[in-house]
Structure 1
Amino acid sequence: MSTLVKTHFANPSYLNGFFGKDLFNEIAAPAFSGSVPAVNVIENTEGFKIEVAAPGLQKSDFKLNLEKNQLTISAQKEQNEEEKNEKYTRREFKYTSFQRTFTLPNTIDGDRIEATYNEGVLSIALPKREEAKEKPARQIEIA
């Protein structure tokens, strides 16, 4: 069973091993520079949330794949632009794509992962298994 040592982003080294080194690559990069979008990872009592800043894409451009404990987020978009005038025709093709893979801890319930895309942000909810959630302190009676 993996444990998470809570830290802040000023010292992400603990979380690098937990989610995999790819998590913090280019985390300080602009929202979407054309190669890899910025990512936020948030933990709460119910689980984790990954937010991917990917403006200009549509929900249908994304693919999420979970294999064993590897979550792969990818997107691909092709844009064609054509300008015609009486003397010439200009066509431009633009491709935007990226792929990120995260190693998830064993405490994540893979069957309950959900994703939404709203206003340029892909949000992925990674709920913890019930047995992995922190339980409140309790008094144990001695028999």
Structure 2
Amino acid sequence: MRDWRPYVAFAAAVVVALLAGFSYVTVALVGVAAVAGVLVLTRLEPRADPEFDRPRFDRRHGARGEVQELAWAMVGRDGRVGERALRRVREVARSRLARHGLVLGEDADARAIRDLVGDRAFRTLTRTGSPHPKMSEVRQAIDALERIGTTRKSGDT
């Protein structure tokens, strides 16, 4: 079924323009402008477009997104590990060493920690200034922390 509104708008605009005394060319232009206006107004949607509903994921501790963010933060532009990743490695080290009765950063425990994880890993875990360690140094420290495990040695009480 055809929409009759453009025809009515054209006829009404032509009649009004003729009654106003415009020339035939102006009358035709007013009629075309009226039809264009009606076509535009009938095509406009009065309701706003629906928003894109993005799924929201519940972030749990240790979830994939957290690991992904940590992976992005690992290596900076200069090939060295970023501060955020280094802090996380130190948190893990504190937790692992605490299970062995040692405190990272305590001078009294420094020798025991060095013996447990090795010199290179100890330097990586206790480095506080620039430049940050390279990825290979952090990987070696993580390997050393994995080797010591999460439980105390069998002879400890």
Higher strand share: 1
Q: So what's the TM-score if we normalise by structure 2?
A: 0.21
**Which of the two has greater helix per residue?**
2
TM superposition score normalised by structure 1? 0.22
Q: Could you say which structure has the larger radius of gyration?
A: 2
Q: Which has the higher contact order (CA 8 A, sep 6+)?
A: 1
